[in-house]
Structure 1
Amino acid sequence: MKHLKFSLLLGLLSCIFSCNTQQSAFYQASVTINTNAPSKTYNPMIFGGFIEHFGKQIYGGVFDPGSLLSDENGFRTDVIEALNELKVPVIRWPGGCFVDGYHWMNGVGNNRQSTDDIRWGVIEPNTFGTHEFIELCRLLDAEPYICHNGLADVQEMSDWIQYSNATEGELAEMRKKNGDLNPLSVQIWSVGNEREGRDYIHKVRDAGSAMKEMDSSIMVTCSGTHGGSNIDPYLFESAGKYLDYISVHEYWIENWQKHSTPSYMSCMMLSEKPESYIKRVINQIQTAETEGHIKKGQIKIAFDEWNLRSWHHPGFQRFEKVDYDDPEIIKLIKARDKSLNPSIYNLSDALFAASFLNSCIRNTDYVSMANIAPLVNQTGPIYVHPNGIVKRTHFHTIAMYVNELEEYFSKAEINAEKLSDGKDSVSVIDAIATVDKKGENWSISLVNRHPSDNIDCKVTIGDEQLNGIYRAKILTGESTNTYNDIEHPNRVIPRDVELKFTKGVVKLPPHSLTIVHVKGDF
């Protein structure tokens, strides 16, 4: 019956896209692209990812020695193939909160010993360390981004950079003995994760100075704001001259302790919050620029943990070793698997991800990096199980943006009706316009957030209304709650269609993401 319903849906979409019946010029939304304003490149690093030693992100995720699906080095080949589809440009590792108890020397060499993960209450085998992380990045042609233990001393931080990047010296020789004769060339480093206060800011200042003295080519970031907090202005005053980025984190559904699955409409009411958060951070950076604490354009935003939903970890984080045999601890750790439930990740996640990425692109002057958290398992776009993978709905959003958009962003004005849920409301349409270097070929992303209604949307490029049939790719599902799972991995996948515009107006199906391609002389 479900297959019949979806076939009927596809038939309806086919009619919407390509049938030749007369279409009304009435519209409920408009997207007007300003071709006179200069186009800007946006940084593809916004399509980055994050992996932490938590749950099944690394062990049983990207790294699973002994699995029939892994290569000789322990990397899951199906996961690598999927991540390559996302063209992941940068990966942040090893944490996250995990990093507060991590000491990098435990994860290099041939005689590694297991250690207690005091943050997450498990045993860390240390079989995935610096060299394995670099190998993962090599397999993906991704830039490695390492986050330091913010509680470690400055010397430990400098030593990790010397081990990774130096051509000579005691630690460089250690790296060579451990299998990498050439420098690992890690260019992006963070001084800790989600820390704050004057002592931390002084640590950022001292570590930033020492790290750049060790390798002047590196880029440094630190904890700036997470959970909606403001950046302490003293950070810019004291440590600003050593920073290239400021790290921003947010998960808009906080499932840390209590797990919840808000409705589709509740999720859509959150979809404009990333832009508000980004603009607030930009204002704080610009204030620091105006006050002379940092140079104009010096510090960019690294939104290096983001997702609609946080992962679930009731009873944690902690700062002490736990009794691994305690039934209550075992129960709490098992509860983390709630985040793996496939039915959670529906069209809410797909469309929220599109809105988040649109916000980054629109604010490209300051947003230079974003890392979905995590890349694999928990709430990430890829679910990994012993026999394969499932590409969740937001996987396809990211894949569409990476593979379908052009490299330049052009300003677009959106006018649309409001979609309301109680006292909250957002624009029913979101959009982004991208164009190639010659300014000839366009890829336009159109999001219809409405749960049940088609929306007539008028699209104008410069003074020209779109008319005719255009190639497009659409992501939608039978309902807002449609999801992919092991048994049905392709219920929500992008589909190639032909999209009909009449006097600029196109009919966008409900709960959908559409990317339309407009080539040459339109």
Structure 2
Amino acid sequence: MITLYINENKKMGHINPEIYGHFSEHLGRCIYEGLYVGENSEIPNVNGMRTDVVEALKELKVPVLRWPGGCFADEYHWKDGVGPKDKRKKMVNTNWGGVTEDNSFGTHEFFELCEQLGCKTYVNGNVGSGTVQEMSEWVEYMTLDGVSPMADWRRENGREKPWKVDYFGVGNENWGCGGNMTPDYYAHLYRRYQTYIRCYDKNAPIFKICGGANADDYEWTDVVLRECFRNPAPPEAHGFMDGLSVHYYAGVEKGIHKGSATDFDEAVWFNTLARALYIEEVLTRHSAIMDTYDPEKKIGMMVDEWGCWHDVEPGTNPGFLYQQNTMRDALTAGVSLNIFNKHCDRIKMACIAQIVNVLQSVILTEGKKMLLTPTYHVFHMYKHHQDAELVESWLEGAGKIGLKEQEMVPDVQESVSVDKDGVLTITLNNLSPEEERQMEVVLTKKEPSRIEAKIVRGRMQSYNTFEEPEQVKEEAFTQIQVTDRGLSFTMPACSVMMIRVK
């Protein structure tokens, strides 16, 4: 028996909705064919955005969308993507597949998409191959409600009022594809570039995000913060950045993304989940460094790229990063989101990579067809954590499972929150591919009057196809008994569960 104790009286922090954010890059079929099909497409759309995908994403309550990259951000020149579409410059996407981009999806289209989704906007600027002027003029184009060359150009292109840029990233992965920079060099560039991200509307501040580390590169975090916090004094330096990013991908081996997305055994299952769980150590150690410079936690940690990275599907363009999505990905999503919840004192945003047709996506499309992946269903269940308060919870009786000592994982993992209406949301993951678990939930004060539970389960290799799109789906779970201490139930093997207690 595994017992989950919940102390509803002890609030541990606020879970920002943006922890459940998404990432869209000009990569493969994410933007074109996935999110955007154009106004003249036979696929149903509103102003070029495919209706089925938008409606499915609205069900997730997508809180924020990051664009245009990723590696693409540091070769993207925004002026090529505005104005009449037949006059926009074409470009070769050198990072991803060498395909030609016609720039029919640009700044106006991104904001149109976010308006349809009802989500916040996260724009990533170009430091690697762009100039300070280019970045400054983009911010002016998007946000200035006044007279200026860029604001006037925006109006000529059909948008009278400015948009709201909620988040702006100064470069992306500048330690790698964004320029192969050293941390001190990037820090000095960041100080310069961020100066010109002007806030033209004091009632609509832009949250500035500094490019952070690759996984467990703790030196990058330390050096960047040191350089950004020296001269001027720390109180002024807090104005330099509102967030610091970190990227983390769970591969089969540390630092190596490989292995089939669907053909794997238990050894690979545990290897991947151990890598996914390692993100907690990564976040804890980066947080400790941030605490040194920012003990008041004014700067948010932004995990704006995370997820599983497997081999592409056989027969697809290797530069398109199109992969299938199994229960292994669902469990990776479940444990990752629980970890983010539990670190909500520092983590203010997380964006899974990526939203459609790329890496660990929540939706796959093929022509007019669309399917929801196991990861989609996890996000759908977990959406109740958005804007809720994390409460104290812990497990007793849980053990470790695995095939290798260094790759042991907890058999069950959890997080718990309470929303403004007093409803508890419990999310649980059973990481065993074969064994169910007897569970008891002990509540401090709440006497359940109503219980709603959902579950996503299957074999570890289960996934959805366009021929069988509901092999893995979200289902009601009714086998829960109310006891004098709380709840009792048996949690199936290889499953992600959500319980709402009212």
Q: Same fold (TM over 0.5)?
A: yes
Q: Is this contact kept in 1: 2:14–2:345, CA < 8 A? A: no
Q: Are 2:14 and 1:41 equivalent residues in the alignment?
A: yes
1:280–1:311 CA distance, 2 compared to 1 (3 A): farther
Q: Which residue of 2 aligns with 1:326?
A: none
Q: Which residue of 1 aligns with 2:306?
A: 306
Query: C-alpha separation between the residues in 1 aligned to 2:443 and 2:140?
Result: 51
Q: Is this contact kept in 1: 2:15–2:387, CA < 8 A? A: no
Give the letter aligned to residue 234 of structure 1: V
> What are the ranges of 5 or more consecutive residues in structure 1 without an aligned counterpart?
1-26, 291-295, 315-330
Q: Which residue of 1 aligns with 2:76?
A: 102
Correspondent of 1:113 among 61, 64, 89: 89
Query: SS where residue 105 of structure 2 aligns?
Result: coil
Query: SS where residue 150 of structure 1 aligns?
Result: coil
**What is the CA RMSD across the aligned residues, in angstroms?**
2.4
Q: Which residue of 1 aligns with 2:187?
A: 201
Query: C-alpha separation between the residues in 2 aligned to 1:288 and 1:404?
Result: 29
Q: Are 2:469 and 1:500 equivalent residues in the alignment?
A: no
Q: Are 2:349 and 1:369 equivalent residues in the alignment?
A: yes
Q: String of CA shifts for 1:192-251, please: whole Å, max 9, x gaps.
A: 000142222111001111214666621111211113212342322333521000011111
Q: Which residue of 2 aligns with 1:244?
A: 242
Q: Which residue of 2 aligns with 1:335?
A: 318
Query: C-alpha separation between the residues in 1 aligned to 2:105 and 2:300?
Result: 30
Q: Are 2:257 and 1:268 equivalent residues in the alignment?
A: no
Query: SS where residue 411 of structure 1 aligns?
Result: strand
1:377–1:71 CA distance, 2 compared to 1 (3 A): same
TM-score normalized with structure 2 length: 0.87
Q: How does 1:246-395 map to 2 (within 5 A)?
A: 246-253=244-251, 258-261=258-261, 262=264, 263-289=268-294, 296-309=296-309, 312=312, 334-336=317-319, 339-342=321-324, 345-379=325-359, 380-395=361-376
Deviation at 1:360, TM superposition (A): 0.9
Deviation at 1:311, TM superposition (A): 6.8
Q: Which residue of 1 aligns with 2:178?
A: none
Which has the larger displacement, 500-509 or 369-378?
A: 500-509
Query: SS where residue 488 of structure 1 aligns?
Result: coil
Q: Which residue of 2 aligns with 1:149?
A: 126
Deviation >4 Å, runs of 4+: 213-216, 254-259, 310-314, 403-406, 466-469
Q: Which residue of 1 aligns with 2:393?
A: 412
Query: SS where residue 279 of structure 1 aligns?
Result: helix
1:256–1:177 CA distance, 2 compared to 1 (3 A): farther
Q: Is this contact kept in 1: 2:17–2:386, CA < 8 A? A: no
Q: Which residue of 2 aligns with 1:162?
A: 140
Query: C-alpha separation between the residues in 1 aligned to 2:63 and 2:43?
Result: 24
Deviation at 1:280, TM superposition (A): 1.4
Query: C-alpha separation between the residues in 2 aligned to 1:274 and 1:184?
Result: 35
Query: SS where residue 11 of structure 2 aligns?
Result: coil
Query: SS where residue 119 of structure 1 aligns?
Result: coil
Correspondent of 1:234 among 185, 203, 223: 223
Deviation at 1:162, TM superposition (A): 0.4
1:158–1:467 CA distance, 2 compared to 1 (3 A): closer
Q: Is this contact kept in 2: 1:251–1:309, CA < 8 A? A: yes
Q: Which residue of 1 aligns with 2:179?
A: none
Correspondent of 2:471 among 469, 491, 505: 491
Q: Are 2:452 and 1:471 equivalent residues in the alignment?
A: yes
Q: Is this contact kept in 1: 2:123–2:169, CA < 8 A? A: yes
Q: Which residue of 1 aligns with 2:207?
A: 219
Q: Are 2:177 and 1:175 equivalent residues in the alignment?
A: no
Give the letter aligned to residue 166 of structure 1: L
Q: Which residue of 2 aligns with 1:456?
A: 438
Query: C-alpha separation between the residues in 2 aligned to 1:406 and 1:470?
Result: 21
Query: C-alpha separation between the residues in 1 aligned to 2:71 and 2:154?
Result: 26
Correspondent of 2:164 among 177, 182, 185: 185
Query: SS where residue 197 of structure 2 aligns?
Result: helix
Query: C-alpha separation between the residues in 2 aligned to 1:218 and 1:393?
Result: 34
Query: SS where residue 38 of structure 1 aligns?
Result: strand
Query: SS where residue 269 of structure 1 aligns?
Result: helix
Q: Which residue of 2 aligns with 1:136?
A: 113
Q: Which residue of 2 aligns with 1:397?
A: 378
Q: Is this contact kept in 2: 1:313–1:336, CA < 8 A? A: no
Query: C-alpha separation between the residues in 1 aligned to 2:247 and 2:213?
Result: 7
Query: C-alpha separation between the residues in 1 aligned to 2:412 and 2:257?
Result: 33
Deviation at 1:123, TM superposition (A): 1.4
Q: Which residue of 2 aligns with 1:127?
A: 104
Deviation at 1:41, TM superposition (A): 2.5
Query: SS where residue 123 of structure 1 aligns?
Result: strand
Identity %: 31
TM-score normalized with structure 1 length: 0.83
Q: Which residue of 2 aligns with 1:431?
A: 414
1:62–1:153 CA distance, 2 compared to 1 (3 A): same
Deviation at 1:453, TM superposition (A): 1.0
Query: SS where residue 248 of structure 1 aligns?
Result: strand
Q: Which residue of 2 aligns with 1:52?
A: 25
Q: Is this contact kept in 1: 2:9–2:391, CA < 8 A? A: no
Query: C-alpha separation between the residues in 2 aligned to 1:507 and 1:258?
Result: 34
Query: C-alpha separation between the residues in 2 aligned to 1:482 and 1:429?
Result: 20
Query: SS where residue 55 of structure 2 aligns?
Result: helix
> What are the ranges of 5 or more consecutive residues in structure 2 without an aligned counterpart?
176-181, 230-236
Which has the larger displacement, 244-253 or 193-202?
A: 193-202
Q: Is this contact kept in 2: 1:469–1:499, CA < 8 A? A: no
Give the letter aligned to residue 247 of structure 2: H
Q: Is this contact kept in 2: 1:297–1:366, CA < 8 A? A: yes
Q: String of CA shifts for 1:283-322, please: whole Å, max 9, x gaps.
A: 11101125xxxxx2210011111112267599xxxxxxxx
Q: Which residue of 2 aligns with 1:86?
A: 60
Query: C-alpha separation between the residues in 2 aligned to 1:58 and 1:438?
Result: 37
Q: Are 2:49 and 1:75 equivalent residues in the alignment?
A: yes
Which has the larger displacement, 210-219 or 373-382?
A: 210-219
Which has the larger displacement, 246-255 or 109-118?
A: 246-255
1:34–1:507 CA distance, 2 compared to 1 (3 A): same
Give the letter aligned to residue 58 of structure 2: N
Q: String of CA shifts for 1:459-514, please: whole Å, max 9, x gaps.
A: 111167x899943111112x221111101111111111323235643211101111
Q: Is this contact kept in 2: 1:208–1:239, CA < 8 A? A: no
Q: Which residue of 2 aligns with 1:16?
A: none
Give the letter aligned to residue 195 of structure 2: S
Q: How does 1:13-28 map to 2 (within 5 A)?
A: 27=1
